Structure 1
Amino acid sequence: MDNECRLQEEDLLKRIDGVKRVHKVLVGIGEEWSIGRRPDIMAAYEALGKLLNGKDYFIVTMNTDGKIFESSLDHSRIVAPCGNVHWFQCEKACTKDIWEEGEVQDGVCPHCGAPLISNTIKAEAYIEEGYLPQWTAYTKWLSGTLNRDLTVLELGVGFQLPGVIRWPFEKTVFFNKKAHMYRVHETFYQISEELRDKAEGIRSDSVEFIEKSPTIW
């Protein structure tokens, strides 16, 4: 049977003592945090920043809206493997070059003259070089958490691309004997039997959950 938390939300918030006492925190951010769903998302990012203040953390986000990079969170501790609408690539992928917004004024590739498009997974030929340096930093950080106390906080991650956050996070928690995960999602909060004693499934809107957290913690 899935390990589903059925306590009141306030009680659940109080139970997440691990985020307060553990130094290392891995955070996954999913579609519930998309600007398309939550135009007021910046308040939630600032609340998350307060929760992570003083922690050794890393954030993996599936969102491509770039809003997380407008927050006070440390950009060197964030990786966006699905891309960013504010990064640009050649539509024809003639080069691995990535440009930031405003770098190329006429919006055409300096190499071949093709239009520049957003460097996201929606591109027909997605150029991954935009996020790979940060992915390397993330994997290095993650390797340093093995057999260390680790809190894994999965926020609003569904099944759009489970191979990016959901399944890898489960694997991390399974193999790290000192890890504990909190999966917060309005619909997909369930925990597998293998992680029954190492994870909490919290049925809640993850954005609202984090926005409430500073007032309780």
Structure 2
Amino acid sequence: MDNYWTRIDKAKAALEEADKILLGGGAGLSAAAGIAYSGKPFTDHFGPFIDKYGFTDLYTSSFYPFATQEEKWAYWSKHISLSRYEAGPTKLYQDIFRLVQDKSYFVITTNVESQFEKAGFPPDNVFEIQGNYSYLQCAKGCHNKLYYNEQLVKDMIEKTVDCQIPTELVPQCPVCGGKMDPNLRMNPYFVQDEKWHERDTSYKDFLLNAEGKKIVFLELGVGFNTPGIIRYPFERMTFHNEKAILIRLNKDHPEGMEEIKDKTISFTEDMQEIVLAVMK
């Protein structure tokens, strides 16, 4: 691997010369931005849930099989509020926006906390393919409408007692009368509404228009939880486009396809530091 400043210079040149930039944001990006799923932010906000259920972090606790809907939504309202509504725009996301704002770009992300939008990215340029904390859906996906949840989440938190919400606040599907879930891709019933399909079309159009052009695939903190969404497609598209460059910022998994080794610029250093260095 080239030394740090050589890689910075190569990344800067690739971004400056690019006709198109496709950003791929994964969980490592939000972690680098300071949106923590464990540690002090978690223990400060989830003390009663830690005591009652033995939770250790937001990720694993989201799979807990709560016995009642009252318990489930006491937890999820806190989870959604902390990750989506209480977290403001972060410097890392804002700097990434400044890095690409004058270029032709698009974002695909598996993150669900709307940090790209908060940082200034126009919503039409961001495809949140795995869902969004701001919305609820029918748990069985009986229809494809989503429901904005900010006020409901606030009411749930305000009236939570002993890790339970009042029964009257438990959301019910307005169509089938069944249970509701956060709009997250966690089972086969994930709802893809009209806006989701519009962003999917925009993503495909962006890729179509980038064929044969100088494109940079800027991959940010994408690991192996869902590699088939961003990581592997970015590698394949880099391989098939002779003018493409893959810039991979990944502290833990910088490795990639041997076939595109000469077209890949990898960084394991601090993500904020890298973005600022490329911007200079």
Deviation at 1:94, TM superposition (A): 1.7
Contact 2:214 2:243 in 1 (8 A): yes
2:218 aligned partner: 153
| Larger Rg over CA atoms | 2
Determine the C-alpha separation between the residues in 1 that align with 2:90 and 2:19.
24
* 2:66 aligned with 1:18: no
| Counterpart code for 1:117 | D
| Counterpart code for 1:36 | A
**Residues 130-168 of structure 1: CA deviation (Å, up to 9, x unaligned):** 622201110111111110111111111111100000011
SS at match of 2:262: coil
2:50 aligned partner: none
Distance 1:103 1:116, change over 3 A: farther
* 2:102 aligned with 1:57: no
Structure 2, unaligned stretches of length 5 or more?
A: 39-86, 154-168
Identity percentage of aligned residues: 25
SS at match of 2:210: coil
2:189 aligned partner: 125
Deviation at 1:117, TM superposition (A): 2.1
With the length of structure 1 as denominator, give the TM-score of the two structures: 0.86
Distance 1:101 1:166, change over 3 A: same
Determine the C-alpha separation between the residues in 1 that align with 2:134 and 2:277.
29
SS at match of 1:59: strand
Distance 1:207 1:156, change over 3 A: farther
Contact 2:24 2:108 in 1 (8 A): yes
1:185 aligned partner: 250
Which stretch of the first structure deviates more once superposed, 13-22 or 149-158?
13-22
Number of residue pairs aligned between Structure 1 and Structure 2: 210
| Counterpart code for 2:111 | N
1:108 aligned partner: 172
Which stretch of the first structure deviates more once superposed, 127-136 or 175-184?
127-136
Please point out which of 217, 223, 232 is paired with 1:167: 232
Contact 1:117 1:123 in 2 (8 A): no
Contact 1:91 1:123 in 2 (8 A): no
Determine the C-alpha separation between the residues in 1 that align with 2:36 and 2:185.
17
SS at match of 2:141: coil
SS at match of 2:113: coil
**Residues 45-73 of structure 1: CA deviation (Å, up to 9, x unaligned):** 11011100211001111111222222201
Distance 1:41 1:71, change over 3 A: closer
* 2:137 aligned with 1:89: yes
Contact 1:32 1:205 in 2 (8 A): no
2:73 aligned partner: none
Deviation at 1:13, TM superposition (A): 2.2
| Counterpart code for 2:19 | H
Contact 2:88 2:118 in 1 (8 A): no
Structure 1, unaligned stretches of length 5 or more?
A: none
Deviation at 1:92, TM superposition (A): 2.6
Greater helix share, 1 or 2?
A: 2
With the length of structure 2 as denominator, give the TM-score of the two structures: 0.68
2:208 aligned partner: 143
Please point out which of 70, 74, 90 is paired with 2:122: 74
C-alpha RMSD of the superposition:
2.4
Distance 1:209 1:61, change over 3 A: same
SS at match of 2:90: helix
Determine the C-alpha separation between the residues in 2 that align with 1:119 and 1:40.
21
SS at match of 1:18: helix
